[in-house]
Structure 1
Amino acid sequence: MSSLRLNTARLSTARLATLTLALLGAAASAQTTPNTALKGTISVWAWKDPIAGLKSLDAAFAKAYPNIKVEYVQKDPGGGAIYNAYKLAFSAGSGGPDVALIEDSHLQQLVKLGTLADLTSQVKPYVVNLTPAKLNTATLNGKYYAMPWDIGPVVLYYRRDLFKQAGVNPASLRTWDDYLKAAMVIKAKTGADMLPLSKAKNDGRLLETLLWQQGSGYVNAAGAVTLDKDPRATKALDLIQSLYKSGASADIETWTDSYYKVIADGKVATLPMAAWMGGFLKGWIAPKTEGQWGVLPLPAFAGSVSRTSNDGGSQLAVWNSSKNKDAAWAYIQFHIAQKDSALALYEKTDFFPALTSLYKDPAFSQGDAFFGGQKISQTYTALAKTIPAATVYTTDYTDMNSMLSIEIQKMALGKQDAAAALKNAADVIRSRTRRN
């Protein structure tokens, strides 16, 4: 999931009641047999929208585990607040959670610190139903430290009305070259920009998406920095530079009021973003634009077949110093590793589940009115299985992203070219992280 707000009002009371009954039956039979002897109070740290989703299953959890009390502590990820709190609790040696919600981008950093319990034996039964790309984010040195909740397959959201007005067939966007050509046509015929892409406030996320699409990242498999040596990084940043130079991108910072407005007002034609963006569009960014959006696979780079990437995703982990590790795992297993509960969470939150075994459920073959009746979940499921393994989320990810963003901003403002941006970013990252 992204660390931003989501619409959490999708699931009707009647539907939730039905799912709660299903959960009670499943918990006692096919999926796992609750150990009712487990007892204690567990603390779950997360942010607002995930908490709302998790709480919706707590009545069923209380029936299955009557002696486990759950307390939620809301800590927002904005500005790194929840991650700073995790680090402070670890440094203090006390005061941490029992269950920690962690975005994939931050997971390996916390594992490296020693904050999380080894969950290898607990997670192994689910490995067959998790994609390699997702498992890589939960793994360090061959051990699993979290149970994956959601995944962020990246698609191209596009405005049906703008494409129609410009006479551009969405299906023609097979490559990024096609995308650039379409951008110029759409700009000329509608006045709309192809996408929002800030210069001075570029956050590096689009470049990371393009790196991941190609199975690349900040480092190679050995952990050595490769930004200035990998031709895939050059392709990715050259594309971004072309988008700037085309005049068909809007210089607007993401996650600002101006950003929300251009999306809602139809001033941008596409958004290359993860599955969680669909919920954002429907729920609060552009709810009045129902029927005007469609979903496509990402355009491919020349010579590549990859039509997706990953952005975001999250996992639930057990705090290493927790005195209630078994109860904490029972909570995790019940809420996100069982079919009915995982499906209920998806309908409640729009967090696209990581467990591929869920994708055959009828819930994933329904048309979505907001997207013109398109069966968008089928697009997500097909692409989720093809996300390349990549090396974007490392143990030094936060620092790497910050350093790279600065160099992209310099390039966007005309202070250096793409090659210099990658070299400077790589040099600074090597120096500060002590990597080769």
Structure 2
Amino acid sequence: MRNDDLLKVFKTVIPAFNKVYPKITVDMVGLDIDTKLPPTLISGTAVPDGSFYEDVNIVGQADHLYDLSTLMKPHLSDTVQFKLDVNTIDGKLVGIPWDTDPGLLYYREDILSRAGVDPDSLTSYDLLLDAADKIKSKNPKAKPIPLEQDSNLGLQWLMMLVNQQQGSGLVDGEGKLTIDTPATRNALTWIKQVADHGLGARTKFASTGQIAMLDNDTISLVPWAIWFDFLPQSGLKKSVGKWRVTQLPAWKEGGARSGVMGGSSFVIPLKAKNPELAWLFYEFALYNKIGYSTVYGPNKTYANGLNTSLPSVKAALNGPALFKPVSQLGNQDLWPVDTKAALAIPPGYRIPPWFNQAANYLGVNMQKMIDGSMSVDDVISKSTEQIQKNLVDRQR
């Protein structure tokens, strides 16, 4: 595991697991997975029996991972489909889906109320722009919508806008580039409108500057992943209790109002000494009601439960709330809003092995577009050319 709060949370599952499997010893180690795991998988030395891993990194290590297709068969129909899609490489299921990170719309209830904006009316991205205009008319200093300044996070944000309901991404199921598509053009055009109309705040997620803008009424409409909610719970001061959450807008009438931004799973190395035992633990922690309730329910690490992500298990998402309402978000019951978004994430999303490197091209070019030095067409054509030449062709 990563050496963070999730390590503490998953360790609390071990006692319940050992009641079912008393002869299996689980030693959970926290370390820098991105640095340590890839060379370990390649060398085959001191390979762990299992590991937490970000979805964007799994595809690049697929050849070194255990094919879980047979073990996962009983749980396929109970798993959100897009998580199965991103973990299936060359016909092999190499990751055990853990969390979904659905996109949501966070908003300042007080600011929208003063501007006469009904949050229930924000059903399209055009209407979201109109709402930002109304807010700015009441406060000329407002820049209601954050425009991510980091090229890596900016790319992830763009993909959330592209994959939600539009069912697209950087590549299709065959690995062919799908940047030059109406889906990408829609999202980039909207981002450019936010920038050109003076409705966007250039800032980095969770930076001191962004926290100040969230607190001082500059930012009030945040289409972002579920994990934005850790800011009201730990980083904000003046605006604590004023934030609420609803579904993302749709790109067209009747379209899905969700997307995905991030996510992680568990993998079992091909050279693991005890792959079957690792599977039993992950199956218990992720698919057993006691397991996922222990992970997401109230605990010593998260008093109200883990609410910055959701399980990928449909039985959990369709069941009773695993975490409690959050006072910092006005005691809103987040569970029905969050789970509706997770269950609505469109299937068919694929992550290429060079996803992180694509930020050097598409992510950087998008920043130039926001700054006004590139058009939407420029971003699409140049990024397609650069990624094809420097990433796709080199991979071959």
- TM-score computed with the length of structure 2 as normaliser: 0.90
For 1:52-201, list aligned pairs within 5 A: 52-76=8-32, 82-111=33-62, 114-190=63-139, 191-199=141-149, 201=151
Aligned-partner residue type, residue 325 of structure 1:
P
How far apart, CA to CA, are the structure 1 residues paired with 2:191 and 2:174?
A: 27
2:245 paired with 1:295: yes
Q: Could you tell me whether the CA contact under 8 Å between 2:124 and 2:253 is conserved in 1?
A: no
How far apart, CA to CA, are the structure 2 residues paired with 1:121 and 1:200?
A: 40
2:296 paired with 1:346: yes
> Aligned pair in 2 of structure 1 residues 360, 299: CA closer, same or farther (>3 Å)?
closer
> Aligned pair in 2 of structure 1 residues 307, 406: CA closer, same or farther (>3 Å)?
same
For the residue of structure 2 that corresponds to 1:271, the secondary structure is strand
Between the two proteins, the alignment pairs up a number of residues equal to 383
* 1:41 alignment counterpart: none
For 1:195-344, list aligned pairs within 5 A: 195-199=145-149, 201=151, 203-213=154-164, 214-228=166-180, 230-278=181-229, 280-286=230-236, 289-302=239-252, 305-344=255-294
Identity of aligned residues (%): 28
How far apart, CA to CA, are the structure 1 residues paired with 2:16 and 2:117?
A: 49
How far apart, CA to CA, are the structure 1 residues paired with 2:277 and 2:231?
A: 36
Q: Deviations over 1:365-412 (max 9, x none)?
A: 965444334322111222222211243522221222332111112222
**Consecutive unaligned residues in structure 2, runs of 5 or more:** 298-304
How far apart, CA to CA, are the structure 2 residues paired with 1:163 and 1:60?
A: 45
Shift of 1:163: 0.6
Q: Could you tell me whether the CA contact under 8 Å between 2:54 and 2:264 is conserved in 1?
A: yes
Aligned-partner residue type, residue 330 of structure 1:
L
* 2:354 alignment counterpart: 396
Shift of 1:69: 2.8
> Aligned pair in 2 of structure 1 residues 271, 50: CA closer, same or farther (>3 Å)?
same
Q: Deviations over 1:225-259 (max 9, x none)?
A: 1212x111111101111111111111112232222
Q: Could you tell me whether the CA contact under 8 Å between 2:156 and 2:262 is conserved in 1?
A: no
For the residue of structure 2 that corresponds to 1:416, the secondary structure is coil
Aligned-partner residue type, residue 72 of structure 1:
M
Aligned-partner residue type, residue 351 of structure 2:
Y
2:362 paired with 1:416: no
Shift of 1:364: 5.5
For the residue of structure 2 that corresponds to 1:86, the secondary structure is helix
**Consecutive unaligned residues in structure 1, runs of 5 or more:** 1-44, 77-81
Q: Deviations over 1:26-58 (max 9, x none)?
A: xxxxxxxxxxxxxxxxxxx33412211101222
Q: Could you tell me whether the CA contact under 8 Å between 1:49 and 1:349 is conserved in 2?
A: no
Q: Could you tell me whether the CA contact under 8 Å between 1:193 and 1:268 is conserved in 2?
A: yes
> Aligned pair in 2 of structure 1 residues 361, 354: CA closer, same or farther (>3 Å)?
same
For the residue of structure 2 that corresponds to 1:251, the secondary structure is strand
For the residue of structure 1 that corresponds to 2:52, the secondary structure is strand
Q: Deviations over 1:267-287 (max 9, x none)?
A: 310221222322x13431237
Q: Could you tell me whether the CA contact under 8 Å between 1:153 and 1:311 is conserved in 2?
A: yes
How far apart, CA to CA, are the structure 2 residues paired with 1:140 and 1:416?
A: 35
How far apart, CA to CA, are the structure 2 residues paired with 1:137 and 1:87?
A: 19
Q: Could you tell me whether the CA contact under 8 Å between 2:296 and 2:323 is conserved in 1?
A: no
Q: Deviations over 1:412-436 (max 9, x none)?
A: 2222211111111111111123359
Q: Could you tell me whether the CA contact under 8 Å between 1:276 and 1:352 is conserved in 2?
A: no
For the residue of structure 2 that corresponds to 1:85, the secondary structure is helix
Q: Could you tell me whether the CA contact under 8 Å between 2:214 and 2:239 is conserved in 1?
A: no
Shift of 1:123: 1.1
- TM-score computed with the length of structure 1 as normaliser: 0.82
How far apart, CA to CA, are the structure 2 residues paired with 1:218 and 1:104?
A: 15
* 2:300 alignment counterpart: none
